[in-house]
Each structure stands twice: as structure tokens, then as C-alpha cells.
């Protein structure tokens, strides 16, 4: 039997060259800042158990994290509510788009924390008496996952808040169902600011690795969340992280992941590594085209598929 390549020596640059000329997909245009993203951007990073981070060109180019923040919001909500967040949000896949105007029948809960309704709720459950305090708590939590302080793009946050009509609709619907305690406007504002957090591929890989290593940041050695919280988050990433494409993702890639309209994908291979890919052109499910190709290659080449023997 031939052993799989060591992530420490795996040729990430060659992998990038294999996919960088793929021109398929469309850049998201839901807000002006996303529409202006460079479609040629393509970066890959791996974060390893010893804290080493390996990456390609453009892996330190900043972008707004967008939906890739959702696993970390879920983790912080679980932490700050001692697990009670699981009573407020479901964990089942929907088979629908990320912004579908739908809640669980009979409970009024969001179906899972990886769709927009769930993320609006989890962001509202972190500690804080008002939106500013909750945003500050989220900023501290994301910094702990990243191992460094992170900035927020205020223009992106403003645009997300101003133009997020479907998010406002979801928040009002949850208010009507008695699921959401915060006002709709406050919930959208906190979530919009979280989505506007600036990261790069290297940082996002470390964040994914923190979940993959049971809640311990491999760069800082800090325990960010308990092992059980990390396990729960990675489990829901596996079933719900790529929305209505999650089943196909787990069959082909087999690594828990969260996609994003900014073209970022964060991956958490439990006990093995964290990874991130960013490339803005998206497929019909809102997943980076090049990011999917890279993820499939990493899974095959490094034997990361969760269900491979």
C-alpha cells in the first residue's frame, strides 16, 4: 500500500496551478463590495497540529468572512448558553437555499445554525446586553479561534445590514414565532457585523483547525471552546455546511466544511488539519467552484475523506 502524502510536504502551489485557470462560476453581487471581488483570487492554506500554516500565493489577501463565520457563531452560542442553544435551533439539513424563508414546523426554530435564520439566532444568543456588547463578544471569540485580532469592514457591515431584506424577513418571522428575543433590526446588525469580519486564507485555516483539534487553537495552544462544543459544531458542518449541496459534498469530499458567498470555504478534518480555500466565483449552490475542486483534491491526495477506509 502506498501512503498518502504528508501535508507538510504536499505541493499546494501545484494544486493551485491545477485549478487557477478554471473560469466557471459567478461572483456574488448581493452587496457592492462582494460584486467587486477579484474573480482571479485563488488561495489555499493548511493549518497543522503543531501550529504550522502552509499556504499558496494570495493566502494573506483579506476578504470578509461572510457565511464562513456561521460555525464559529454556533460554537460561541453553545459556549455562552452552556449548550442551551441546541434547544433554540435545529440541527437538521434543509435541502433548501441558505436564505430560504422557512422555520421548523411546529417549533418555529431555525432548521440549523448554518442557514441564515440559524446564524441570526445564534449571533443573538452570545453574551451581551445589547448589540454592541454582543458584537464585541463575537469579535473576541473570533479572535480566539484565529489566534489574532481581526478587523471589521464597516462598509460591508453597513451594506449587509441595509440590503439584507431576506435576513430582516427571517428575523421578523422568528420574532413572530417567539423564537428570537432580540429585535429584528438588532439581530441583523449583529450578524451583519460578524459577516463583515476580515480574514485571509491562512487565518481561516487556523480557525478551522481549532475546531478540528477539539477546540484548541494549534497556534496559540489556547482552549477556545470545550471539546464537546467543537464536536457538535463539526458534526453540523458535515450535514449542513454546504446548504442544499451538503450531501453531494460529503460524498465527494468527505470533510466537514462551511461555504461562503465571498468564495471562502473553511474545512475541519477532525484530528488531522484545518484548511481554507478562497476563490470568489460560485456555483449554483453558492460554493466556490475552484474551492470545491481544491477540496476534492485535498481529500483524495491526503486521504482526508471521513468515510474512506
* Binding-site residues from annotation for substrate: 67, 116, 160, 167, 191, 243, 261
Strand, helix or coil at 260? coil
Give the orientation angle of helix 116-125 with respect to helix 70-80, to 10 degrees. 40
Which of 39, 47, 93 minimizes the C-alpha distance to 237?
93
**Cα–Cα separations (whole angstroms), residue 175 to 56, 110, 220, 251, 257:** 44, 12, 39, 36, 29
Rounded Cα distance between 187 and 52, Å, is 36
Residues facing 257 on adjacent strands: 267
Rounded Cα distance between 152 and 289, Å, is 26
Q: Which residues are annotated as a binding site?
A: 67, 116, 160, 167, 191, 243, 261
Which of 268, 151, 293, 258 minimizes the C-alpha distance to 206?
268
Strand, helix or coil at 190? helix
Rounded Cα distance between 288 and 20, Å, is 12
Residues facing 26 on adjacent strands: 282
Rounded Cα distance between 187 and 185, Å, is 5
Rounded Cα distance between 5 and 207, Å, is 23
Amino acid at each position: 500500500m502506498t501512503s498518502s502524502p504528508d501535508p507538510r510536504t504536499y505541493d499546494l502551489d501545484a494544486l493551485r496551478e491545477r485549478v487557477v485557470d478554471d473560469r466557471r462560476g459567478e461572483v456574488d453581487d448581493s452587496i457592492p463590495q462582494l460584486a467587486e471581488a477579484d474573480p482571479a483570487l485563488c488561495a489555499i492554506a493548511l493549518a497543522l497540529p503543531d501550529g504550522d500554516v502552509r499556504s499558496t500565493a494570495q493566502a494573506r489577501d483579506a476578504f470578509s468572512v461572510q457565511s464562513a463565520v456561521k460555525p464559529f457563531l454556533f460554537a460561541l452560542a453553545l459556549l455562552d448558553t452552556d449548550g442551551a442553544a441546541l434547544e433554540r435551533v435545529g440541527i437538521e439539513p434543509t435541502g433548501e437555499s441558505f436564505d430560504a424563508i422557512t422555520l421548523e414546523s411546529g417549533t418555529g426554530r431555525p432548521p440549523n445554525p448554518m442557514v441564515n435564520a440559524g446564524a441570526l439566532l445564534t449571533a443573538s444568543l452570545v453574551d451581551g446586553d445589547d448589540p454592541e456588547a454582543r458584537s464585541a463578544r463575537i469579535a473576541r471569540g473570533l479572535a480566539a479561534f484565529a489566534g489574532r485580532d481581526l478587523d471589521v469592514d464597516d462598509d460591508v457591515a453597513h451594506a449587509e445590514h441595509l440590503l439584507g431584506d431576506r435576513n430582516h424577513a427571517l428575523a421578523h418571522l422568528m420574532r413572530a414565532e417567539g423564537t428570537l428575543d432580540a429585535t429584528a433590526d438588532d439581530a441583523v446588525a449583529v450578524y451583519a457585523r460578524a459577516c463583515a469580519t476580515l480574514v485571509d486564507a491562512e487565518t481561516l485555516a487556523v480557525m478551522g483547525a481549532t475546531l478540528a483539534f477539539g477546540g484548541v487553537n494549534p497556534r496559540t495552544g489556547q482552549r477556545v471552546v470545550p471539546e464537546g462544543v467543537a464536536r457538535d459544531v463539526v458534526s453540523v458542518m458535515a450535514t449542513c455546511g454546504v446548504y442544499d449541496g451538503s450531501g453531494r459534498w460529503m460524498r465527494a469530499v468527505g470533510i466537514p466544511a462551511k461555504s461562503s458567498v465571498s468564495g471562502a470555504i473553511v474545512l475541519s478534518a477532525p484530528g488531522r488539519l484545518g484548511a481554507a480555500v478562497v476563490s470568489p466565483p460560485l456555483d449554483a449552490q453558492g460554493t466556490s467552484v475552484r474551492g470545491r475542486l481544491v477540496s476534492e483534491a485535498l481529500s483524495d491526495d491526503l486521504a482526508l475523506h471521513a468515510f474512506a477506509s
